Chains A and B, each alone.
Chain A
């Protein structure tokens, strides 16, 4: 009534730079879980015990990685390990699944040598750290992590010790490859959680049978993030303190590396659990300054810190500046911070229509994903509570929760979850959500890792009814993955901004291609790629609905992303 009208008036009042091309009506898109039929049998074992070790409930990770460089995204899923009080019936291993190119996957973990057995795994990051043309794997874990170097022949080698990349003694959560010093080699940031250990494990919850709970992280001390600087010879040096990134502890869970102030240098945002978030501004001299408070993104607009888990950055409102989205626990809000175009953010959670819609859900993996290819980044959230006995404390809350999708209407969001098929509604204890076009059909699919449950492969069906373009970057002077490159795509009167980020979501690694939804536009007028090296490549007009490969300094080169074959075909 009166209040409602006032609210609408505010939202439409020019607060956002809406593109002249208004969003089109929703098209019939659905996400279908095809994990089982695709041959993905992985089931995460969370090592759950009555001791309620905090590590049990926080994992684990999921990655898209084209490990054999055949143009099809493969899958890596992280598992846990035995503990003092948990002895599984069979060995616990992480799993690598090869994409067969016709819709199915085959497990190749042992052949590839990436089982990470004995590692209580958390997140994962995929990147070509040695610039040799294939994707390496960093598996983050509790107390240590593993760096697997891709040998290019279907096998990996554990080079952790040699590379000095163990992150020893820390509880690593998420990790991201990015080039912080623009020397053309990928460095690695690992966000670390808290100083929990078996020795300092506490009894939390009520003192009656069944009521023991996982402790809140604020019962422990936060750990500082780790920055490993690439020495360009296969080894890394710990640059945490020197760079300033390790200057203060946080309860780090999620990280995204992106160019916050569009100065060509990659900054990074860390989502911390129940303490201030960090925004590390790259000072271009191998050091960072933490500015989240100043930038207005350290905590919610009510002045309260929240349980930050998943995080992503993208230009959701088409003004050319990257905005940030962070997931939190139930009874907190998932926050949307809109870039103010200068030096900070504004919390627009309510004004953008998100508000309380996910108030009773605990969000983990999340990202800006244009699932319907209308050119407006939507928001996908994988939910799952932290407490496996939450129903004893909150009657209406469950451990397993449904997914949530917000459709972007051009700067405001609406809940589209119910329109996207029943598989999103199935309650799961979700953690990582990794985004990639695994079937090369032009729309983004989602790989979800679930705590103590089977993984999900949510294939996007119908998203490619609208036009799209995917961009694959090959750096030459810049790092080979092109992390840090920014792209401006012009199509008709639309300008879309994207960036080859590091990290994003929660404990996840995403596909390397940049995806653009084009709506009804069937051609692109111009693509401008700014590389971290400073080189600029411009691709003139090209048709939509293809994968374009851009090599630094050479412009467009041949692509190698075939469509899915029919099963049985050669």
Chain B
């Protein structure tokens, strides 16, 4: 989860309120008045004030920013985005506007956009700890752990007594399997925020990952003391007790974990395990079947189920469970290989060996037909050779597999454009831009294509947004000039 600090309206108030009388004609006064209303929660009135301020002075970046903030608080994300965009366009070094724009992108699920924006922010303002923290969380969710740890470490260094930052750093370190450092960091977080159950839970996880089960048990107990309903802590406690051979105690905790979170497949899987060890294969089977139903791709649940069925004399069921585990393992292996083939193919494309790249991409698809990345990369490689027909098919397959692929939608737009189907291309790019507002390539392509198609309004809107965030894009600048004539 990313928590964005909602910078207060008061942060940007300039001096004391103006005397009455000229308030309505004075842009700054309208802006300040808007801030006062916003702070009281009178958002509709605040919006009106900010709009007046902008009407009086269209190039007033702070007013655009405040308007965007108000829209954001009202849940009007699209308008908020426009407001931030305009603020940034007017004042490119407006870190707060960029930061909150990133927050809007995060809400829209555009993690690449978030990462890019936050990266720019921390480059311009290296001391902006909150931005580093959120960048770290974004990178972590993208599985870029090394970079995530770097950002979170920097955030923690900038504000050493911030338990939230320390906790995030500890979690990332544990994910990187730096158990000792993770535990030390989480201990620090716990010392600063002793009432926080989540910190104690994550400490327990880090300790268990590092093999320090006895300490992990203590940490999980700590989390439960602070929040007896913490289902994950209950589960972690049960697992650690099981590892220490305390099977009855483990059983009790895992039963409670399942009660607290009935849809947690891991809790049910571990409940099944401990029942198996307590020589209750029937009970184990029930728990493990449930785990597999909740997560049909949980390989270990099938292996455990096979064991339990074996012990219960249900040999055919054991065989089926083993077969399913093996199928899933093979799928996983094939996906891993497919990922490397795609990576290797990309290197081939950049290295000029397009033919070898295509072979590898087709091999990746053969290995793992549901791997959307492979279809997208194949499409790109085909498009670069002018083979738009097959490229379109590949992209449609990718979108069927994963409708949330911003890059696939964008590539589809480009490919349709290359194939001469401009209206369809614009439609796809518009969908991409609306769905992923911070995905610059899509907005850029939409702006340029709209200009070609004579839609100046769309072109202006999109190109302005892109230029606000990428001011050095000469082609966009030239296109904007043409569109403005």
Is B29 interfacial (CB-CB < 8 Å)?
no
A322 to B273, CA, bound (A): 25
Given that A10-B245, A293-B322, A296-B307 are known contacts, is A331 also in contact with B177, CB under 8 Å in the complex?
A: yes
- Chain B residue nearest to A397 (CB atoms) is B177
- A-contact bits for B190-227, CB 8 A (1 contact / 0 none): 00000000000000000000111110010000000000
**Interface assignment of A156: CB less than 8 Å from any CB of chain B:** no
Q: Are B177 and A394 in contact (CB under 8 A)?
A: yes
Contact of B337 among A7, A219, A351 (CB under 8 A): A219
Task: Tell me, yes or no, whether A14 is within 8 Å of chain B by CB.
Answer: no
Contacting A at CB under 8 A, from B300-348, are 300-304, 306-307, 310, 315, 318, 322, 326, 329, 332-333, 336-337, 340-341, 343-344, 347
Chain A CB within 10 Å, residue with most, of B307, B322, B344: B307
B214 close to A3 (CB less than 8 A): yes
List CB contacts (< 8 Å) of B262-304 with chain A.
269, 273, 277, 299-304
**Cβ-defined contact, B211 with A303, below 8 A:** no
Expressed in whole angstroms, the minimum distance between the Cβ of A310 and any Cβ of chain B is: 20
Q: How far is the CB of B125 from chain A (nearest CB, A)?
A: 26
Q: Enumerate A358-400 residues with CB–CB distance to B below 8 Å.
A: 359-360, 393-396
Most buried by B among A4, A303, A351: A303
Q: A303-B307, A331-B177 are known contacts. Are A7 and B244 too (CB-CB below 8 A)?
A: yes
A301 at the interface (CB under 8 A from B): yes
Distance (whole angstroms) from the CB of B414 to the closest CB of chain A? 25
- Which residues does chain A contribute within 8 Å of B337, judged by CB atoms? 202, 218-220
| Contact pick for B306, options A221, A293, A360, A393, CB 8 Å | A293
Contact A359 B318 (CB under 8 A): no
A304 to B273, CA, bound (A): 12
Cβ distance A480 to chain B, nearest Cβ, rounded Å: 39
Q: Does B116 contact A (CB under 8 A)?
A: no
User: Residue of B at shortest CB range from A204?
Assistant: B340
A6 to B273, CA, bound (A): 20
Quick check: B332 and A294 within 8 Å, CB to CB? no
Select A219's contact among B300, B307, B336, beta carbons within 8 Å: B336
Answer whether residue B456 sits at the interface, using C-beta atoms and an 8 A cutoff.
Answer: no
Q: Which of B177, B303, B318, B329 contacts A294 (CB 8 A)?
A: B318
Say yes or no for A350: interface residue by CB 8 A criterion. yes
- Say what secondary structure dominates the interface of chain B: helix
A-side contacts of B213, CB under 8 Å:
355-356
Q: Are B329 and A350 in contact (CB under 8 A)?
A: no
- Any B CB within 8 A of the CB of A216: yes
Within 8 Å of chain B (Cβ to Cβ): is A86? no
A215 contacts B307, CB within 8 Å?
Answer: no
Query: Shortest distance in angstroms between A317's beta carbon and chain B's nearest beta carbon?
Result: 16
Residues from chain A with Cβ under 8 Å of B340 in the complex: 202-204, 215, 219
Does A193 interact with chain B (Cβ within 8 Å)?
no
CB-nearest residue of chain B to A219: B337
Judged by a CB distance under 8 angstroms, whether B255 is at the interface is no
A-B pair number, CB within 8 angstroms: 92
- Among A391-443, those with CB < 8 Å from B are 393-396
A531, CB-defined interface residue at 8 Å = no
CB distance from A236 to the nearest CB of B (A): 30
Bound state CA distance, A301 and B307, in angstroms? 10
Q: Is A497 at the interface (CB under 8 A from chain B)? A: no
| CB of B37 closer than 8 Å to a CB of A | no
Contact assessment for B178 and A394 in the assembled complex, using a CB-CB cutoff below 8 Å: yes
Verify if B349 is at the interface (C-beta below 8 Å from A): no
Q: Could you tell me the distance in whole angstroms from the C-beta of A302 to the nearest C-beta in chain B? A: 6
Compute how far the CA of A219 lies from the CA of B340 in the bound complex, rounded to whole angstroms. 8
Interface of A (DSSP majority class): loop
In the bound assembly, the distance between CA atoms of A6 and B249 in angstroms comes to: 11
Chain B residues within an 8 Å CB radius of A216: 336
Judged by a CB distance under 8 angstroms, whether B142 is at the interface is: no
Decide if A263 is an interface residue (CB 8 Å cutoff). no
Say if the beta carbon of A449 comes within 8 Å of chain B.
no
* Interface status of A305 (Cβ within 8 A of chain B): yes
Which of A156-206 touch B at CB < 8 Å? 202-204, 206
Residues of B within 8 A of A206 (CB): 146
Q: Please, what's the 1-or-0 string for B433-474, where 1 marks a CB less than 8 Å from any CB in chain A?
A: 000000000000000000000000000000000000000000
A303 vs B266: C-alpha distance when bound (angstroms): 12
CA–CA, A524 and B71, complex, Å:
91
B177 — which chain A residues lie within 8 A by C-beta? 331, 394
B181 within 8 A of A: yes
B18 within 8 A of A: no
Residues of chain B contacted by A293 (CB below 8 angstroms) = 303, 306-307, 310, 318, 322
Pairwise interchain contact A351-B245, C-beta atoms closer than 8 A = yes
Residues of A within 8 A of B180 (CB): 396
Chain B residue with the shortest CB-CB distance to A221: B333
Bound-state Cα–Cα, A304 to B270, Å: 12
The 8 Å CB contact of B211, one of A203, A219, A359, is: A359
Rounded to whole angstroms, the CA-CA distance of A166 and B307 in the bound complex is: 38
| Chain A residues positioned under 8 Å from B318 (CB to CB) | 293-294
Complex: A296 Cα to B311 Cα, angstroms: 10
- Closest Cβ–Cβ distance, residue A307 to chain B (whole Å): 13
Does any Cβ of A come within 8 Å of B355's Cβ? no
Which A residues touch B341, using CB under 8 A? 202
With both beta carbons as reference points, the residue of chain B lying nearest to A208 in the complex is identified as B146
- In the bound complex, residues from chain B placing their C-beta under 8 Å from that of A356 are 211-213
B299 CB, nearest partner CB in chain A, Å = 8
Judge if B393 is at the interface, Cβ distance under 8 Å.
no
A304 lies within 8 A of B300 (CB): yes
Residues of A near B244 (CB, < 8 A) are 3, 7, 350
* Chain B: CB-nearest residue to A215: B340
B230 on the interface (CB 8 Å rule)?
no
Q: Which of chain B's residues have a CB closer than 8 A to the CB of A221?
A: 333
Asked if A275 and B329 make an inter-chain contact with CB atoms under 8 angstroms apart, the answer reads yes
CB 8 Å contact bits of A51-94 with B (1 = contact, 0 = none): 00000000000000000000000000000000000000000000
Give, as a whole number of angstroms, the nearest-CB distance from A50 to chain B: 14
* Cα separation A312 to B299 with both chains bound (whole Å): 27
Residues of A near B306 (CB, < 8 A) are 293
- Is A303 in contact with B300, judged by CB distance below 8 angstroms? yes
Known: A203-B347, A298-B303, A301-B277. A218 touches B332 (CB 8 A): yes
Which of chain B's residues have a CB closer than 8 A to the CB of A6? 246, 249
Bound form: Cα–Cα A303–B299 in Å: 8
Please give me the residue from chain A that is nearest to B180 by CB atom.
A396
With A275-B329, A303-B307 already in contact, the answer to whether A395 and B178 are too (CB < 8 A) is: yes
A516 at interface by CB-CB < 8 Å? no
Nearest opposing residue in chain B for A251, CB measure: B333
Task: With both chains docked as a complex, state the minimum distance between the C-beta of B236 and any C-beta of chain A, in angstroms.
Answer: 14
- How far apart are the CA atoms of A495 and B322 in the complex, in Å? 38
CB-CB nearest in chain A for B214: A3
The CA-CA distance from A294 to B310 in the complex, in Å, is 6
What are 24 A-B pairs with beta-carbon distances under 8 A?
A7-B246, A10-B245, A204-B340, A215-B340, A218-B336, A219-B333, A219-B336, A219-B337, A275-B329, A293-B310, A293-B318, A293-B322, A301-B273, A303-B269, A303-B307, A350-B245, A355-B211, A355-B213, A356-B212, A360-B211, A393-B176, A394-B176, A394-B178, A396-B180
- 19 more contacts with CB within 8 A, not counting A303-B304, A356-B212, are A3-B214, A6-B246, A10-B246, A202-B341, A207-B343, A216-B336, A218-B336, A275-B329, A293-B318, A294-B310, A294-B315, A301-B277, A303-B300, A303-B303, A351-B245, A356-B213, A359-B211, A394-B177, A396-B178
Which residues from chain A sit less than 8 Å from chain B, CB to CB?
3-4, 6-7, 10-11, 202-204, 206-207, 215-216, 218-221, 275-276, 293-294, 296, 298-299, 301-305, 331, 350-351, 355-356, 359-360, 393-396
Residues of B that sit less than 8 Å from A by CB: 146, 176-178, 180-181, 210-214, 217, 243-246, 249, 269, 273, 277, 299-304, 306-307, 310, 315, 318, 322, 326, 329, 332-333, 336-337, 340-341, 343-344, 347
Top 7 closest A-B pairs, CB basis? A356-B211, A303-B300, A303-B304, A359-B211, A303-B303, A202-B340, A218-B333
